[in-house]
Amino acid sequence: MQAKSDSNLWGIDVSRWQGLIDWPKVAAAGVQFAFVKATDGIGWTDPQFRRNAGGANAVGIPVGFYHFAHPETNSAAAEAEAFTETVKGLPVDLPYVLDLEGEAVAALGREKLTVWADTWLREVQRRTDHPVMLYTGAAFARSYCGEQLAKYPLWVAHYGTDQPMSNSTWEQWSVFQYSDKGSCDGIEGDVDMNLMELDFWKEVTGQVDKKTDFPDVEAGRWSENCIAAVSAAGIMTGYEDGTFRPDQPVTREELAKVLNDMLYLINQR
């Protein structure tokens, strides 16, 4: 497991235990993401779930939802259905999370827990076509999470350290819950503190830098003349050298200029 880094993003996870949250104050405090508890087993929804989900969304904090598992009493398929029905239709930015912890859960043993967790995660992903991940404690991951779960990102909890305990299933964490005694403006009492790896953030939010993957037009072809024409016209956005950039908006004027020059070059004007 890697240690904390200055590039990590800071976030929180919340449930009914945080009471009524003042989300504008949370946003002003600099919180960059939030995981919100949705469900617990079957038939129980966190009473603050919709308020927290809506509040975070309203202030632009990216949100993920998590489910507290009870594999000692329910099937993975039944709990996956309960969770997906609860979160259906709600805006979500981060993965859906399976929260796997507790003595009753551990009593099932490593093999059964691994199969149960994998089934829940696969079923939620199938039902929603949305990314999923696993939350658990560092010691729990070492003892009860088999290699079958390595394909899912890990959100690991380990308090009082800058580097979580290692385990044989994951080489690194995607989210690190480093404290359950944090404080944040807008929340009365303690709240869990989390860090997220920057690369994981980019992946799940779609903010991947594609500059090195985006090819320019082929030199010496007619398309190069189109690019030069719009650049000379002063209506080009993108790199300083006049090439296009995938994360820049293209205006109607730019598209019209390109199309007009294309038509001219292929003798249709």
* pLDDT 10s digits, 66-95: 999 999 999 999 999 999 999 999 999 999
pLDDT at 211: 44
Residue with tokens 């919100």: 36
**Contact in structure between 234 and 251 (CB atoms under 8 Å):** no
Q: Is 53 helix (H, G, I), strand (E, B) or coil?
A: helix
Least Cα distance to 197 among 4, 35, 1 occurs for: 4
Burial class of residue 66, CB neighbours in 10 A (0-12, 13-18, 19+): buried
Q: Where are the domains of the chain?
A: 9-205, 211-265
CATH assignment of 9-205?
3.20.20.80
Strands 175-184 and 187-196: antiparallel
User: Is 129 in the active site?
Assistant: no
User: Is 253 in the active site?
Assistant: no
Task: Provide the pLDDT confidence category of residue 248 given band limits of 50, 70 and 90.
Answer: low
User: Tens digits of per-residue pLDDT, 20-73?
Assistant: 999 999 999 999 999 999 999 999 999 999 999 999 999 999 999 999 999 999
Distance between CA atoms of residues 247 and 245, nearest Å: 6
Active-site option among 13, 40, 118, 192:
13
Active-site option among 40, 46, 79, 99:
99
Distance between CA atoms of residues 195 and 11, nearest Å: 6
Distance between CA atoms of residues 82 and 215, nearest Å: 45
User: Tens digits of per-residue pLDDT, 108-155?
Assistant: 999 999 999 999 999 999 999 999 999 999 999 999 999 999 999 999
User: Is 99 in the active site?
Assistant: yes
Distance between CA atoms of residues 42 and 151, nearest Å: 26
Active-site option among 22, 101, 190, 216:
101
Distance between CA atoms of residues 201 and 120, nearest Å: 23
The pTM (predicted TM-score) of the whole model is 0.77
Least Cα distance to 15 among 45, 41, 49 occurs for: 49
